[in-house]
Amino acid sequence: MIVVTGAAGFIGSNIIRGLNRRGITNILAVDDLTDGDKFVNLVGGQISDYMHKDEFRRGVLEGFLPGVRAVFHQGACSDTTERNGQFMMDNNYRVTLELFEYCQTHKVPLMYASSAAVYGAGPHYAESLENEKPLNVYGYSKFLFDQVLRARMSSLTAQVVGLRYFNVYGPQEQHKGRMASVAFHNMNQFIDEGHVRLFGGWDGYADGGQLRDFISVHDVVDVNLHFLDHPKVSGIFNCGTGRAQPFNDVASTVVNTMRTLRGQAPMSLEELVRHGSLRYTAFPEDLKGRYQSYTQADVSALRAAGYKSEMRDVQTGVAEYVRALHEASAGAQ
């Protein structure tokens, strides 16, 4: 049996589908469906059992989860604006530590979600302590467990892999609200209002010019499954494309993909702005000093660990995502 925590979430539900594509359906899905609408992310995947996260946590602490082959631990509070440090540290750090100890005791491979938030404002994004300066308690909760893994690397009894996700976008993120990707928000803005909005310039960057490493969830799943296939490899690895692209690339790809689907010709960035299809809003005061204006994963360690597949750029991955959202929307009507 393979365990996927955060199974009804964005990345967790996509990992289930990735496992299903390999013919693996003996999956224990762990999540919190108090918000019952999240069940929709489980519908398209095949699992063998479901367990509430609190029941699973008790099972981990009491050691009664027999027959586990591997764990993909994606369950966490991913809201970077959450200020309740007690909740964040228990939910993201302590639960991960408990699961780590269980997996080490029972010699079970563990792949867990870390985050590029550990790097704070950067500008260096290689997996090294001197680069790690989280700007919020979310980033710190991820940072702290990464230090546990580093301290225990020489005495591991089973594989442990921490993946530092950069800006992930793709299907199954509709429940994330404000924390959903800019591609998702831009798509909905364009459908609802006929234009998309981005933050204006700040921190030395032009309007829409802040740079992020945007990675398709399909590539994230492939990276996770790569480590399932290589159980002798442990460590902390960036999970990004190694390519920084401006938010303008995301917005223009969303609009031009929709224009193409409607039989209209694509426009340049300048034409989109002039036409009013792309608009800029003042940079929010509450994000100043707590915002990553630039991220770009150093993927040297990931490549050295044997992951060789090419990753989608924004123009490819976002266009693929927009077409999928458009098809799903058309199918629901």
C-alpha 99/C-alpha 112 separation (Å) is: 10
- Structure tokens, 186: 């831009």
Contact 125, 131 (CB under 8 A): yes
C-alpha 121/C-alpha 153 separation (Å) is: 27
C-alpha 162/C-alpha 71 separation (Å) is: 12
E-strand ranges in the chain read: 2-5, 27-31, 49-52, 70-73, 110-115, 160-165, 167-169, 196-199, 211-212, 214-216, 235-239, 245-246, 278-281
Q: What positions carry a catalytic annotation?
A: 138, 176
Q: Given a cut of 70, is residue 101 above it in pLDDT?
A: yes
C-alpha 4/C-alpha 19 separation (Å) is: 10
Q: Report the share of the chain in percent with pLDDT over 90.
A: 81
Mean pLDDT score of the chain, rounded to an integer? 93
Per-residue pLDDT tens for 107-158? 999 999 999 999 998 899 999 999 999 988 899 999 999 999 999 999 999 9
Question: 84 pLDDT band (50/70/90 cuts)?
Answer: confident
Per-residue pLDDT tens for 240-293? 999 999 999 999 999 999 999 999 999 999 999 999 999 999 999 988 877 888
More confident residue, 291 or 171: 171
Question: Which pLDDT does position 45 carry in this prediction?
Answer: 96
Question: Which pLDDT does position 87 carry in this prediction?
Answer: 81
Q: Given a cut of 70, is residue 82 above it in pLDDT?
A: no
C-alpha 196/C-alpha 181 separation (Å) is: 13
- Structure tokens, 63: 């050691």
C-alpha 186/C-alpha 198 separation (Å) is: 8
Q: What single-letter DSSP state applies at residue 294? A: B
Name the residue among 134, 45, 43, 61 with its Cα closest to residue 97. 61
> Which residues 6+ apart lie within 8 Å of 69 measured at CB?
1, 2, 108, 109
Residue 252, SS3?
helix
- Structure tokens, 164: 């530092």
Q: Residue ranges of the domains in the chain?
A: 2-169+216-242+297-311, 174-210+245-290+320-328
Residue 227, SS3?
helix
Q: Which CATH class is domain 2-169+216-242+297-311?
A: alpha beta
Mean pLDDT of 180-192: 92
> Among positive and negative, which fits the CA dihedral 141, 147, 148, 149?
positive
pTM for the model = 0.94
Q: How far is CA 162 from CA 13, 184, 254, 305, in A?
A: 18, 26, 31, 13
Mean pLDDT of 294-319: 97
